[in-house]
Amino acid sequence: MANEPNDINWESAARMELEPDAIHESSDGYYFDCPECGSPATIDNIIEEGRCNGYLNEQVEGIDFDLENVSCSAVLRLEMAYTAEPESET
List contacts with Zn ion (CB under 5 A): 34, 36-37, 52, 54, 72, 74
Q: Which is nearer to Zn ion, 52 or 89 (CB)?
A: 52
CB of residue 36 to Zn ion, shortest distance in Å: 5
Could you report how far apart the first and last alpha carbons of the chain are, in Å? 56
The DSSP symbol for 20 reads G
Q: Which is nearer to Zn ion, 74 or 86 (CB)?
A: 74
CB of residue 34 to Zn ion, shortest distance in Å: 3
C-alpha 27: how far from chain center: 17
Residues 35 and 14: their CA atoms lie apart, in Å, by 10
Bridge partners, residue 40, by sequence: 33
Q: Which is nearer to Zn ion, 3 or 29 (CB)?
A: 3
